[in-house]
Structure 1
């Protein structure tokens, strides 16, 4: 091997030093320089192996070893300066990724100039860790800036989706689709078969959405790329955990959720939840129809109103209609939260059989033991709605 050939091998290039430094050549040069260390180390190994094969082979190391070591000592790790450009790059740190994995992703996606610019820093500070997630970074960042950015939670991309208590499953998946990258069609398909999630509602509950009531309403942090079925499973698991923590046997889940959904839709103030739960038990015990307007509007999909029509209340085609049918409806009419679950399991003590909200703005509700008392409370509601200032609440 001639000296010129050795120099070319050492530098990983056969280009003359005085050749014009065009952009394409600079790009190739950067890639070469990022591999200089590996190439030189391989050369060292080759020289040592040659020496091991033949004792006289030590001439190779004797002739070139000093120059290899000097070259390695002079090597500069390719690195950008500063916080990067305006181009956004999404970096996904997966569960189980180690520093080497992260450094390689940053280099491969153009965030950093080289693998070594990050990995060398990680070797110097072994306390640095990365949390799984998707992060917004920039292209052409320095190694240290990229590491700092991955440790800043503000750079983590998450969809925060809030499902309020009392919403239906249909409303919930629409909210999810509007606030994440999960298509509505995927969500509709995901809720079609409740058995996939360990839910087995009674056979007669084949109306509307079979997973109604089984998704826990809360705020969820959803990673980009999360599948519809994975999120639905998380929401179902959360509801089943809440039931298990309260000691609800699996065979009683559907009944508890059906009652809790009624309470959630009918009660306004926290203390009223427990009274509404008592009304449900008192009327069921006496064989009375529940006569909840919310069971009529659920089937009609007419949310946002407190009124029902004579036709709606007499509709036998509505299996949820608690004016027409006695007992509980065939299933939940929404997604109940913690207070509603607690109220059903520990209802207030009282003989109330009626209730009506008499102030739709404040939520003030009157509970009555007799029909005459209830009729008086209904008159108060109509009087309140007759006030033109309250018209917007009484539509």
Structure 2
């Protein structure tokens, strides 16, 4: 009896130790699965595409080495029912983030918006490419919308001037937002930008907001310095009032579709294209680039003067000499032409 009594406590101790070991193992696995630092420094974001299944997400997490232990992540995901709650988006990854927190963000669709900024965009295709780089949809989807006359008319534009609806600025938009919804967002911002005050200024110039933006695109094409924009805008407005040809070199470059041109020559001026303001009076049908906010406001708040001619200064500072008469202008033009010749700039 005595030996039996002694053996029983010893066996109990062994069982208790084994239970404790098993419990510690379970606790360790549970901690590693849910609470331990898991996310690595390999990636800044996890992109879950529209239509992705859980298997697709798990494959990305494995191939991109997003977590330290994929098996633990899978355990946590299964326990938190994530396979049935996959939501597309661009999810911020923080080094050391636990599986529980990561999966909570993925389950809830708590993605971080893209801070999308654009400026100095010349063509619709350039803009579409930039959109395609920053959002889930391919650039071709954006090109189709930007060139769609029905979409343009829906927002009150023509196919030619639709590009003026996109005001260069910084926008926060979710990565997986559909292209048509992104365009709708830009329209909302356009309406906010064109406040009552700006619209009144445009009306006083006898121009629509679209026409102001078209002129602003020419001003931006001419001006290397922001402080000169109001002066240049005033010159083109003077030409419009007098019914003169705008004769803006940037429109000729656009019409020729050759943006390597540094010196506009007579052969460039002969192109029969509505964007060639050496041949066609008034404003072109659309912008020659996306105008900046500064160039739009330069038109609306232009400098009042009597200049109708301008020519780049021969010091290549990026500024212009302005003139009221053609005789004065020809003197300025000859100076600049001689400077071009001296630098062997032939085209």
TM over 0.5: yes
What secondary structure is seen at the aligned counterpart in 2 of 1:291?
Answer: coil
Tell me if 1:134 matches 2:134. no
1:343 to 253, 274, 298: 298
Q: Point out the more displaced range, 165-174 or 338-347.
A: 165-174
**Following superposition of structure 1 onto structure 2, how do residues 46-65 of structure 1 map, counting pairs within 5 Å?**
none
Residue 110 in structure 1 maps to residue 73 in structure 2: yes
TM-score (norm 1): 0.59
The equivalent residue for 1:295 is 251
Gaps of 5+ in 1: 1-16, 35-75, 93-108, 118-131
CA distance in 1, matches of 2:318, 2:243: 28
| 2:164–2:291 contact (8 Å) kept in structure 1 | yes
In structure 1, C-alpha distance between the alignment counterparts of 2:46 and 2:286, rounded to whole Å = 43
Matched, 1:200 2:156: yes
- Structure 1 position 265 matched with structure 2 position 228: no
Corresponding residue for 1:274? 230
- Deviation track 1:264-302 (CA, whole Å, cap 9, x = no partner) reads 211222222111111112112222111111112212222
What SS does the aligned partner of 2:34 have? coil
Post-superposition shift, 1:354?
0.9
1:228 deviates by 2.0
1:384 and 1:236, CA in 2 relative to 1: closer, same or farther beyond 3 A?
farther
Check the 8 A contact 2:113/2:173 in 1, yes or no: yes
Report the Cα distance in structure 2 between the residues aligned to 1:341 and 1:285, rounded to whole angstroms. 18
Change (3 A) 1:294 1:81: same
**Residues 235-254 of structure 1: matches in 2 within 5 Å?**
235-248=186-199, 252-254=208-210
Aligned to 1:164: 119
Gaps of 5+ in 2: 1-17, 49-71, 81-88
Q: How does 1:359-378 map to 2 (within 5 A)?
A: 362-378=317-333
TM-aligned CA deviation for residue 210 of structure 1: 4.6
Retained in 1: the 8 A contact 2:121–2:127? Answer: no
Aligned pair count? Answer: 287
| Cα separation, partners in 2 of 1:337 and 1:239, compared to 1, 3 Å | farther
Alignment CA distance shift 1:139-1:243 (3 Å): same
Structure with the larger RCO, 1 or 2 (CA within 8 Å, 6+ apart)? 2
Report the CA distance between 1:158 and its aligned residue.
5.2
Q: What secondary structure does 1:282 align onto?
A: helix
State the distance in 1 between where 2:37 and 2:292 align: 48
1:332 maps to 2:287: yes
Distance 1:236 1:167, change over 3 A: farther
Offset of residue 346 of structure 1:
2.0
Match of 1:79 among 19, 31, 34: 34
Question: Of the candidates 113, 120, 131, which is equivalent to residue 176 of structure 1?
Answer: 131
The alignment partner of 1:113 has SS state of helix
Q: Which residue of 2 aligns with 1:310?
A: 266
User: What is the TM-score of this pair, normalised by structure 2?
Assistant: 0.67
TM-fit CA distance, 1:166: 5.6
Q: Is the 8 A contact 2:230 2:302 kept in 1?
A: yes
Report the 3-state secondary structure (helix = DSSP H, G, I; strand = E; otherwise coil) of the residue aligned with 1:283: helix
